[in-house]
Amino acid sequence: MTLLGICIGIMAIIALMGIGEGMQQAITGELSSLSDTIVLSTGDISANAFGGGGFEHANNNEYLTERDIADIQRINGIKDVSTVLFSPGIITFNGESNSVSLVGIDELNMEKIFGIGVLGLESGDFIEEGKQNTCVIGYNVAHEYFDVDIELGNRVNINGKNFAVVGIYKKQGSGMSTETDDNIHITPRDFEKITGLSESSSAIIRIYDVTYADVIADEIETVVNENHGDDDFANAITMTSLIESIQQIISIAQVVLLSIASIALVVASIGIMNTMLTSVMERTREIGIMKAIGATNKDVLFIFIMEGILISIIGGFVGIALGIIGSRGLSTVLTRSFGGELTPVISTSSILLGIAVAVIVGMLSSLYPARKAAKMSPIEAVRYE
Amino acid sequence: MKDDIIVTKDLCKTYVLGKITVPALKPTSISIKRGDYISIVGPSGSGKSTFMNLLGCLDTPTSGNLIIEGTDVSKLNENQLAKIRREKIGFIFQKYNLIPTLNAIDNVALSMSFVGINLKTRLKRAEELLGLVDLSKRISHKPSELSGGEQQRVAIARALSNKPSIILADEPTGNVDTKSGDKIMNILEDINSQGETIIIVTHDLDIAKRANRNLYIHDGEVVEAAY
């Protein structure tokens, strides 16, 4: 029971740190490759924290104009600007229907935004320029939405219109392109035909030098806001700031979870103290013998503190092992629940922290019982039955 | 001429029980020579154990002085008393008082660890001492695996571990059979013959008679006796 408390506390620390570090690395790694990208959106844009940086666009009826795009292109340091059309849609295949996200984007912009190589196609190709009524579908749309898998060349019905599937994306998992698994990409022209929408509320802007990302983002916001006479019309967000805000969210979450873990450690230290007090009482005679044969108060104090630390370290090592197993289990559960890939990162520093916490907890919780043992009168202790 | 190893000057111990003051040891002035073999006899509750505890620096006197090898220990603090206990005094208790979780060799080596002797030297000396009390083949046995006589011999080896100048034995044969008791007394006498001062508390007059000086305690008063 004494070991259990310390086990749980250390296990929680190791698991949470491992998962937190894994999340940070997954997000930072994914977004860092896109650090030269600025996402412009009318209304609010928010980061999808788990698995990193997918974008959630607030529904609004405010669109970017051709003037906005032209003004942005004139800003120094802009490589290119690509608008993206988003809309919900209904896909019907083999008599079954499902809702999907439609993305209107042409091949050129697609390459600009992600690079086809980044997303990767499981089979087929991207839509040829000018080719109508063709689509590229996400992995989940192809393999999980319907009883029968959609294959290359199959015809699907999107919002009442037939499309030929010319490409299927590889599974993207977590990250920037999470939603791609559930998206259907069509040309902007087809997008307009089936949704009636031709204006975009989002644009993805690439810049030449990432060191100016924040300055350029501010300039973009200013230009677009001025065009619409509204200070809050558009929001330009850099990947760097996105990484920072996500890391901040994860750090706060880690602090909260570690605080919860520390409660387990407080309970554990009370448990160790209780065990040590019982041990001191049971070993009163032993303490008396030690003092009779020459042990000083300091010797007795040291012996009992070392015992407390030993108990705690044993619990700590078991906790570290369980923490490593637990973080893997937790990441599997999170991956299954939210999709994507999350590999926990158990660093040497988190293991050392676990051991250090165990040593400190053991030492502090055995201090009082050890002092009690050290202060015993040898004559009374040796007489104790 | 042998020097005085222990000198008591009006050494006194009283216990206060509520409003009553109980004199456990009345003012006692004696001197014990180096190499003496002394027995202390007396009825239960006479003050034998109190006297022994004072001589062994386990307890502090209410008044008077106790001088061990020239040092007045009655004025020392706890840590200084612990130093005297581990360097100058070896204890042998009636109930052996071995640490139950340690085997024979570790029990003997334990007191040496408080002096700061390294592990290898501790174990080597502990093994030699166990050989001296004829327990070479039982060094890895725990107290529960040893007979009463064997446990007491381990306790003797432990008492000798830090080469003390005084051995205090409180009823060393009280919990063992006659044959084992005889063996224990022979060991103690061997040690005494090598110059060690032995003070033994006993109820057994036959044991007391083996000593070269006898003290008798009655109602906290120490007197010389002859058997």
Residue-wise pLDDT tens digits, B58-92: 999 999 999 999 999 998 998 999 999 999 999 99
Q: Could you say which of A150, A177, A199 is where a domain stops?
A: A199
Percentage of the residues of chain B whose pLDDT score is greater than 90? 76
In the predicted model, is pLDDT for residue A48 greater than 50?
no
- Are the beta carbons of A294 and B93 separated by less than 8 Å? no
Say how many domains are in chain B.
1
Instruction: Provide the mean pLDDT of chain A.
Output: 83
**A286 and A181 co-located in one domain:** no
- How many beta-carbon pairs below 8 A join chains A and B? 54
**A12 and A97 co-located in one domain:** no
- Helices and strands in chain A, H and E counts: 12, 12
Question: Rounded to the nearest 10 degrees, what angle do helices A239-282 and A284-292 cross at?
Answer: 80
Who wins on pLDDT, A52 or A271?
A271
Domain range enclosing A170: 85-199
Q: Residues of A with CB below 8 A from B97's CB?
A: 285, 288-289, 292, 382
Give the DSSP letter string of A191-220.
HHHHH----BSEEEEEES-GGGHHHHHHHH
Give residue B19's pLDDT band: very low, low, confident or very high (50, 70, 90).
confident
Query: In B, residues 89-108, which contact A (CB 8 Å cutoff)?
Result: 91, 93, 97-100
Which member of B53, B97, B162 has the closest CB to residue A289? B97
pLDDT at B24: 92
**A274 and A165 co-located in one domain:** no
**A111 and A188 co-located in one domain:** yes
Which member of B53, B79, B100 has the closest CB to residue A379? B53
Per the CB < 8 A criterion, the answer to whether B191 and B157 are in contact is no
- Are the beta carbons of A293 and B87 separated by less than 8 Å? no
**A261 and A376 co-located in one domain:** yes
pLDDT at A50: 35
Domain-located, residue A362: yes
pLDDT at A119: 66
Cβ-in-10-Å burial (0-12, 13-18, 19+) of A385 comes to exposed
- Are the beta carbons of A286 and B99 separated by less than 8 Å? yes
Residue listed under structure tokens 């062994």: B56
**A267 and A356 co-located in one domain:** yes
Q: How many C-beta neighbours within 10 Å does residue A309 have?
A: 21
In the predicted model, is pLDDT for residue A47 greater than 50?
no
| B86 near A CB under 8 A | yes
| A379 near B CB under 8 A | yes
List Cα–Cα distances, B15 to B18, B19, B20, B63, in angstroms. Answer: 10, 10, 8, 12
Query: In A, residues 273-312, which contact B (CB 8 Å cutoff)?
Result: 285-286, 288-299
Q: B220's torsion region: left (phi>0), alpha (psi -120 to 50) or beta?
A: left
Q: Residues of A with CB below 8 A from B114's CB?
A: 290, 293-296, 299
Tokens standing for A225?
Answer: 């806001």
- Domain at B128, CATH number: 3.40.50.300
CA nearest A67: which of A87, A79, A45, A83? A83
Per the CB < 8 A criterion, the answer to whether B218 and B42 are in contact is yes
Domain-located, residue A338: yes
CA distance to partner chain A, nearest, from residue B114 (Å): 6
Among A223-237, A252-266, A289-303, the minimum mean pLDDT is found in: A252-266
| B216 near A CB under 8 A | no
- Are the beta carbons of B99 and A299 separated by less than 8 Å? no
Q: Residues of B with CB below 8 A from A292's CB?
A: 56, 58, 85, 91, 93, 97
Q: Residues of B with CB below 8 A from A288's CB?
A: 97
In the predicted model, is pLDDT for residue B202 greater than 80?
yes
In the predicted model, is pLDDT for residue A55 greater than 60?
no
DSSP state of B102: S
Among A67-71, A158-162, A181-185, A209-213, the minimum mean pLDDT is found in: A209-213
- Are the beta carbons of A285 and B115 separated by less than 8 Å? no
Domain-located, residue A229: no
- Are the beta carbons of A382 and B93 separated by less than 8 Å? yes
Interface with A, mutate which of B13, B25, B85, B167 (most A CBs under 10 A) = B85
Percentage of the residues of chain A whose pLDDT score is greater than 70? 86
Domain range enclosing B84: 4-225
Domain-located, residue A286: yes
| CA-based nearest residue in chain A for residue B160 | A293
Please tell me the distance from the alpha carbon of residue B116 to that of residue B147, in angstroms, as a whole number: 31
Instruction: Provide the mean pLDDT of chain B.
Output: 92
Q: pLDDT for A78-129, tens place per residue?
A: 988 888 888 889 999 988 999 998 988 877 666 666 555 556 788 888 888 7
Which member of B87, B91, B100 has the closest CB to residue A292? B91
In the predicted model, is pLDDT for residue A177 greater than 50?
no
| CA-based nearest residue in chain A for residue B111 | A293
Query: In A, residues 173-192, which contact B (CB 8 Å cutoff)?
Result: none
Who wins on pLDDT, B150 or A199?
B150
- Are the beta carbons of A294 and B114 separated by less than 8 Å? yes
Please tell me the distance from the alpha carbon of residue A10 to that of residue A264, in angstroms, as a whole number: 9
Which member of B79, B97, B158 has the closest CB to residue A382? B97
Say how many domains are in chain A.
2
- Are the beta carbons of B87 and A294 separated by less than 8 Å? yes
Q: pLDDT for A335-367, tens place per residue?
A: 777 766 778 888 888 889 889 988 999 999 999
Of A108-122, A194-208, B18-32, highest mean pLDDT: B18-32
In the predicted model, is pLDDT for residue A222 greater than 70?
yes
Domain-located, residue A165: yes
Q: Residues of A with CB below 8 A from B85's CB?
A: 291-294
CA distance to partner chain B, nearest, from residue A278 (Å): 17
